[in-house]
């Protein structure tokens, strides 16, 4: 940790700003357009869920909705098959999914980025889903690194139905403390993509080119 650097540049910049503000021409407050936003709280669960799955569909994210923990685990087992997995610690994975993973398919080295990047599938839970944009918010913690959802070519995320919110605004309010405490937070909206070359949509540049969501009860 460093103390505020009070020699030189900091104070000169701040003084410069203060004197700039004396001559500055910044437009004053204007009337804002009426905001008739429907109160999100009033939106019912089914609407939230269907918006979430619609948005995922638009993003090209495959989405499965399962009604029991066993079905979630079975679905995840089917999705990953025998492929190499880089996943959250088994204790952190929801619905006891860890039971469908075989030891030899799981990357256990927590520090070696090279071996982590060789896994084909990253398997994670999810702190919150955002229906409005089809986004997944992942707050890292002990055993739940952001690397799981970044390095492999496929990301499988398991989301609890009750963790799906309508808007980002709501999520920012609800997770206020967690958002401050974590060293970083990722909000993932669909696969890694680029349109740099002649505006041609191409998936999987640096992050996963494919994202799969399993919604559990």
Q: Restricting to residues 37-66, name those near other proteins by CB under 8 A.
A: 37-38, 55
Is 1 a binding residue for other proteins by CB under 8 A? The answer is yes
What are 156's strand-pairing partners?
A: 123, 212
Alpha carbon of residue 173 to chain centroid: 16
Minimum CB distance to other proteins, residue 217 (Å)? 27
Residue where the block lists tokens 């992942």: 138
Is 20 a binding residue for other proteins by CB under 8 A? The answer is yes
Range 186-215, binding other proteins (CB under 8 A): 186-200, 202, 204-207
CA proximity to 116, closest of 88, 81, 94: 88
Is 122 a binding residue for other proteins by CB under 8 A? The answer is no
What are 194's strand-pairing partners?
A: 202
Q: Which is nearer to other proteins, 49 or 168 (CB)?
A: 168
Is 110 a binding residue for other proteins by CB under 8 A? The answer is yes
Is 36 a binding residue for other proteins by CB under 8 A? The answer is yes
**Angular region, 118: left φ>0, alpha ψ -120 to 50, beta rest:** alpha
Q: Which is nearer to other proteins, 18 or 82 (CB)?
A: 18
CA proximity to 68, closest of 164, 165, 160, 163: 160
Is 102 a binding residue for other proteins by CB under 8 A? The answer is no
* CA–CA dist 64, 72 (Å, integer): 9
Strands 121-124 and 85-87: parallel
Exactly one of 133, 158, 164, 215 binds other proteins (CB under 8 A); which one? 133
Exactly one of 43, 49, 100, 168 binds other proteins (CB under 8 A); which one? 168
Is 19 a binding residue for other proteins by CB under 8 A? The answer is yes
Range 64-93, binding other proteins (CB under 8 A): none
């Amino acid at each position: 940790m460093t103390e505020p650097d009070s020699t030189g540049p900091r104070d000169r910049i701040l003084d410069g700003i203060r004197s700039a503000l004396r001559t500055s021409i910044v437009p004053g407050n204007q009337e804002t357009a009426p905001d008739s936003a429907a109160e999100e709280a009033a939106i019912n669960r089914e609407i939230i869920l269907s918006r979430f799955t619609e948005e995922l569909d638009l993003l090209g994210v495959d989405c499965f909705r399962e009604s029991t923990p066993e079905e979630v685990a079975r679905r995840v087992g089917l999705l990953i098959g025998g492929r190499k997995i880089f996943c959250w610690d088994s204790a952190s994975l929801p619905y006891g999914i860890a039971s469908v993973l075989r030891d030899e398919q799981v990357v256990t080295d927590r520090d070696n980025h090279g071996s982590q990047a060789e896994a084909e599938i990253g398997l994670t839970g999810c702190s919150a889903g955002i229906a409005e944009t089809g986004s997944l918010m992942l707050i890292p913690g002990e055993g739940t690194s952001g690397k799981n959802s970044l390095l492999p070519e496929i990301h499988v995320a398991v989301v609890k139905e009750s963790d799906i919110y309508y808007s980002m605004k709501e999520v920012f309010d609800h997770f206020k403390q967690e958002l401050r405490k974590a060293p970083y937070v990722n909000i993932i909206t669909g696969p890694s993509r680029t349109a740099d070359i002649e505006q041609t949509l191409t998936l999987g540049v640096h992050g996963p080119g494919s994202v799969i969501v399993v919604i559990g009860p």
